[in-house]
Chain A
Amino acid sequence: MATSTKGDKGKGKVAATAVAAEDEAKIAAHSDDHAGHPSDVTYWKIFAFLFAVTAVEVLLYYKSIPGVNLNNAALGILAIVKFVTVVGYFMHLKFDSRVLRRLFVTGLLLAVVVYCAYMLTLGVFLTNPGS
Chain B
Amino acid sequence: MTAATATHDAHEAHGAHDAHGAHPPTSTGISNEKLAMWAFLGSECLLFGALISVYLLYKGRSASGPEPSEIYDIPFTSASSFMLLMSSLTMVLALASIQRGDHRRLRLWLLATASLGALFITGQVYEFTTFYREGLSLSTNLFGSSFFVLTGFHGVHVSLGIVMLLSLFALSARGKIPQEKAEVVEIAGLYWHFVDIVWIVIFTVVYLIP
Contacts and interface: CB of A to CB of B under 8 A. Distances in A.
Contacts of A12: 1
Contact of A43 (B1, B17, B42, B93): B93
Nearest to B30: A97
Contacts of A70: none
Contact of A47 (B13, B42, B85): B85
B46 A111 contact: yes
A24 B8 CA distance: 9
Contacts of A111: 45-46, 48-49
Contact of B46 (A47, A62, A83, A107): A107
- Report the contact-size class of chain A (Cβ under 8 Å from the partner): 35 or more
B78 A97 contact: no
Nearest to A28: B19
B11 interface: yes
A124 B56 contact: yes
Contacts of A46: 89
A65 interface: no
Given A87-B197, A114-B49, A100 B16 contact: yes
B169 to A, nearest CB: 19
Interface string A92-131: 1001111110011011101110110011001010000100
Interface in B1-43: 1-4, 6-8, 10-17, 19-20, 28-30, 34-35, 38-39, 41-43
Nearest to A19: B4
A51 B189 CA distance: 20
Interface string A11-48: 01000110110011011001100110100100110110
A104 B207 CA distance: 26
Contacts of B209: 72, 75-76
A35 B10 CA distance: 13
A40 B93 contact: yes
A57 B56 CA distance: 19
B1 A16 contact: yes
30 contacts: A16-B2, A16-B3, A17-B3, A20-B7, A26-B11, A30-B15, A34-B17, A34-B96, A35-B15, A37-B99, A43-B89, A43-B93, A47-B85, A54-B82, A60-B208, A79-B201, A86-B196, A87-B197, A90-B189, A92-B186, A95-B17, A97-B30, A104-B38, A107-B42, A107-B44, A107-B45, A108-B42, A111-B48, A118-B53, A124-B53
5 closest Cβ pairs, A-B complex: A107-B42, A111-B49, A31-B19, A79-B204, A23-B7
Interface of B: 1-4, 6-8, 10-17, 19-20, 28-30, 34-35, 38-39, 41-46, 48-50, 52-53, 56-57, 61, 74-75, 78, 81-82, 85-86, 88-89, 91-93, 96, 99, 186, 189-190, 193-194, 196-197, 200-201, 203-205, 207-210
